[in-house]
Structure 1
Amino acid sequence: MSKSTVWPAEWKRYKDRFSGVTITQLTDYTGHSHHLYFTENGWYDNGNKILFCSDRENKTNLFSVNVSTGEIVQLTDHDTTYGSLPACLHPNGQFAFFRKEHQIIEIDLITLKERVIHEGDPSLVGGNINCTADGKYIITCQHEDFKNKFPIDLKNGYVGHRELMEAKPYSQIIQIKIENGESTIVFDDHNFITHINTSPTHHNLITFCHEGPWHLVDHRIWGLNLETKEVWKIRERKEAREMVGHEYWYPDGEHIGYHGFRENGTAFFGKIHYNNTDMEEVEFSFRNWHAHSHGFSKVVIDGRSPLDKLIVWEQVDGTFSNPKILCEHRCSFHVQKVHAHPQFNPDGTKLLFTSDKNGYGNLYLIDLPENFDRLPDFHANK
């Protein structure tokens, strides 16, 4: 199949056996499909469509799914499988951008016309991409390629994760002008830099991270002002081996969400202003992979084995509810493409996640209840 191919709706609906919520399985294909990384909004066309990746026919391409009709449209036409196809949306929702190896490509989501806006250095490994709030620039990162020095397979088991951190590869953060492809190195360092996240309201602010095992990395979350080049730490450790990460911007573009683990293993989720004020954290007694939130009013985590459920909290009048069972995810997390990565939609009424509970990664969507008080409580010791 090729660009603009329309795939008929594959969806099916069922009720979760633990909570009773209705879940829509949006894709059903014998080949992995997954939504964008949970820090990246993939909803467009006034919330009617979701951008996603799929390995259909052993070729990795971008697709859209219409959440009203279930119709799936193929957006790109690649002839091979890629380990990843990082993508992001332009703030106007008409364009998307994706990285295909060393190229960064713009695609018009209406006409499907593509334009290469950046050719990266083939000797470096490119990272994720994000668009600035004013829609003028793509921000990305790249680092030295050490695959000839030690085994690296980060997408499939984090092989080489610690070794890369310890090797301190030369890394760059690059600003690319969408209009003409002009690129500038805005920051460079000898550290394993990844996870570029642009503020959705401040065109000059981004976060990035020093990648590596969270308890060993020197510091995880960093802020960068693209105009002044100021760099600063965000949410410093409170304990020597405390773990903090999986950071993402709130829609206000001022606060940053994250989760982590205390030195004694206690888990927590939290939020902080980019200037290190207004920090709040909530602890819980079970393990998770990721956390996402709609502001600080609704929070979701994906349980880590043996916990195979999505657990949610809701804040009412300044107080969080008990942890509630939203549904089971039964996700293996075996490779990056089948991480659950639960994600609220922009208005907080729906929740999207990926699961390979049936053998292959597929997209699942939940219309959230108006309030969570009728969901069953989750008891960690049961």
Structure 2
Amino acid sequence: MKTYLAAALLGAAALLAGPRAQAQARLETGGQKPMPAPDWIDQATGHQVRRLTPLDGGNASFYFHNNPFLKIASGDEMVIYHTDEQGQQLRLLNLATRRVTPLSEYYKKVSGEIVDARRHDVYYQAGSVVYATNADTHKTRKIYTFPADFPGSISTLNADGTLLAGSLGGAEARDILKKYPAKSDFFNRIYDAKVQHILFTINTKTGKREEIYQENTWLGHVQFSPTDPDLLMYCHEGPWGKVDRIWHISIKTHATKLMHQRTVDGEIAGHEFFSPDGQTIWFDLQQPRSVTFYLAGAPVAGGPEKRYQLQRNEWSIHYNISPDQTLFAGDGGDPGQVAKAPDGEWIYLFRPAGDQFRAERLVSMAHHGYKLEPNVHFSPDGKWVIFRANFEGKEQVYAVEIAKAAS
């Protein structure tokens, strides 16, 4: 299978997981298209930035709460999406060498983006068919084919790798999506329709599908706990100010539990994700909307929430947490986002300080178009923040070092 190399590799000095890189040019990030080299120092922040993917089409990292990483003998690999004139496929990106290797075949569209970090199986969906490809052997097996009368989609894998899960909206909801593809057009319509939605699981060994819950409201953002194979988080989708959004359900008993009850008029909560130890669900909390901003954490077992307050410019579309759970990151936002921040176009690092975050700007995103959400991830060693951006033209995957570059 053909191997693709990232352009202008810099040997040992270019390794993401290795020693600090040698001095790079200080440049305005996105000030040139393309940038003159794949590695530079962001002149606004003093942090080293590097493009991890070659300029051979569009390359995209996963959604913020989906783990893309695999541990291999030589370090870490990251699963990414690649798009070119042939279609779309999944590829493996070696974080140490930036070597990119095709994983799946080309399809018109690939979705699912689920990694079993223990078995090195990567689950994905092409059309109605769910596949798993092993990242070590590159062998692919078919897991399930959705029938025409149940056009579902997968979105998560449980902690022991035995069950996939997803959601399906009724025919009226699907018709709204087809007729009104823009989020600004379909979002309220699907919520107002109160159409039946179903949560389901698929056994990864037998392919058996089981419908575990249904409700006449929009259900989505389905995520399994990273540690408890029985626990599935889901959300009541729709305008955040109208829904008590964050729930979880037991796969065994089908018992449900609301994780955050709104208490302030106009309050919103969302873009939730599990902590690595599965003990906390973190989420964007605004009390009320667009006024006071927090990243809040609800203990899965119950009890008081933990809240860190942010300033308006520090609000981010998505947040994430480091592997050791000591740091957080955010992808910022442009003035058109809910925070209406006049200077929020940055990749941020957040250090907890009492009940607030102490924010550090890592990368200027002034030349990035925020219709593409950057979706930050911490690298497995916790030393870099990885994100996607379009400031060189097409979407690519980048990393910024948390430690400041040598002056």
Letter in 2 for 1:49: E
Report the Cα distance in structure 2 between the residues aligned to 1:21 and 1:258, rounded to whole angstroms. Answer: 27
Q: Which has the larger radius of gyration?
A: 2
1:368 paired with 2:402, answer yes
- Superposition TM-score, scaled by structure 1 size: 0.87
What's the offset of the Cα at 1:313? 1.4
Report the Cα distance in structure 2 between the residues aligned to 1:354 and 1:95, rounded to whole angstroms. Answer: 23
Instruction: Find the counterpart in structure 2 of residue 302 from structure 1.
Output: 331
Report the Cα distance in structure 2 between the residues aligned to 1:298 and 1:153, rounded to whole angstroms. Answer: 42
- For residues 97-120 of structure 1, the C-alpha deviation after alignment (integer angstroms, 9 at most, x for no partner) is 012232211111122221121112
Report the Cα distance in structure 1 between the residues aligned to 2:232 and 2:289, rounded to whole angstroms. Answer: 31
Q: Is the partner of 1:164 in helix, strand or coil? A: helix
Q: Is the partner of 1:72 in helix, strand or coil? A: strand
Report runs of 4+ in structure 1 exceeding 6 Å deviation: none
What's the offset of the Cα at 1:91? 3.7
Pairs aligned (count): 362
Work out whether residues 153 and 159 of structure 1, in 8 Å CA contact, stay in contact via their aligned partners in 2.
no
Work out whether residues 130 and 143 of structure 2, in 8 Å CA contact, stay in contact via their aligned partners in 1.
yes
What's the offset of the Cα at 1:163? 0.8
Instruction: Find the counterpart in structure 2 of residue 108 from structure 1.
Output: 134
Report the Cα distance in structure 1 between the residues aligned to 2:2 and 2:182, rounded to whole angstroms. Answer: 30
Report the Cα distance in structure 1 between the residues aligned to 2:186 and 2:274, rounded to whole angstroms. Answer: 28
- Superposition TM-score, scaled by structure 2 size: 0.82
1:288 paired with 2:319, answer no
Report the Cα distance in structure 2 between the residues aligned to 1:302 and 1:264, rounded to whole angstroms. Answer: 19
Instruction: Find the counterpart in structure 2 of residue 350 from structure 1.
Output: 384
Taking the TM superposition and a 5 Å limit, the aligned residue runs for 1:155-234 are 157-216=183-242, 218-234=243-259
Q: Decide which of 1, 6, 9 is 2:6's aligned counterpart.
A: 9
Instruction: Find the counterpart in structure 1 of residue 303 from structure 2.
Output: 277
Work out whether residues 123 and 144 of structure 1, in 8 Å CA contact, stay in contact via their aligned partners in 2.
no
What's the offset of the Cα at 1:95? 0.5
- For residues 192-214 of structure 1, the C-alpha deviation after alignment (integer angstroms, 9 at most, x for no partner) is 11111111111101101111221
Q: Decide which of 311, 316, 322 is 2:358's aligned counterpart.
A: 322
Q: Is the partner of 2:165 in helix, strand or coil? A: strand
CA shift in 2, pair 1:360/1:123, >3 Å? farther
Report the Cα distance in structure 1 between the residues aligned to 2:311 and 2:132, rounded to whole angstroms. Answer: 43
Report the Cα distance in structure 2 between the residues aligned to 1:362 and 1:75, rounded to whole angstroms. Answer: 18
Report the Cα distance in structure 1 between the residues aligned to 2:192 and 2:169, rounded to whole angstroms. Answer: 14
Instruction: Find the counterpart in structure 2 of residue 258 from structure 1.
Output: 283
What's the offset of the Cα at 1:260? 2.7
Q: Decide which of 152, 159, 165 is 1:139's aligned counterpart.
A: 165
Q: Is the partner of 2:131 in helix, strand or coil? A: strand
Instruction: Find the counterpart in structure 2 of residue 57 from structure 1.
Output: 85
CA shift in 2, pair 1:203/1:144, >3 Å? same
Letter in 1 for 2:361: I
Q: Is the partner of 1:89 in helix, strand or coil? A: strand
Q: In structure 1, list runs of 5 or more residues that go unmatched.
A: 376-382
Report the Cα distance in structure 1 between the residues aligned to 2:210 and 2:178, rounded to whole angstroms. Answer: 28
Q: Is the partner of 1:172 in helix, strand or coil? A: strand
Instruction: Find the counterpart in structure 1 of residue 15 from structure 2.
Output: none
Q: Is the partner of 2:253 in helix, strand or coil? A: coil
Report the Cα distance in structure 1 between the residues aligned to 2:379 and 2:356, rounded to whole angstroms. Answer: 20
Report the Cα distance in structure 2 between the residues aligned to 1:25 and 1:61, rounded to whole angstroms. Answer: 20
Q: Is the partner of 1:288 in helix, strand or coil? A: coil
Q: Is the partner of 2:189 in helix, strand or coil? A: helix
Work out whether residues 30 and 360 of structure 1, in 8 Å CA contact, stay in contact via their aligned partners in 2.
no
Q: In structure 2, list runs of 5 or more residues that go unmatched.
A: 10-37, 336-343
Q: CA RMSD in A?
A: 2.4
Work out whether residues 268 and 287 of structure 2, in 8 Å CA contact, stay in contact via their aligned partners in 1.
yes
Report the Cα distance in structure 2 between the residues aligned to 1:185 and 1:264, rounded to whole angstroms. Answer: 35
Q: Decide which of 129, 136, 148 is 2:155's aligned counterpart.
A: 129
What's the offset of the Cα at 1:362? 0.4
Report the Cα distance in structure 1 between the residues aligned to 2:180 and 2:395, rounded to whole angstroms. Answer: 18
Work out whether residues 104 and 119 of structure 1, in 8 Å CA contact, stay in contact via their aligned partners in 2.
yes
What's the offset of the Cα at 1:124? 4.4
What's the offset of the Cα at 1:158? 4.5
What's the offset of the Cα at 1:144? 1.9
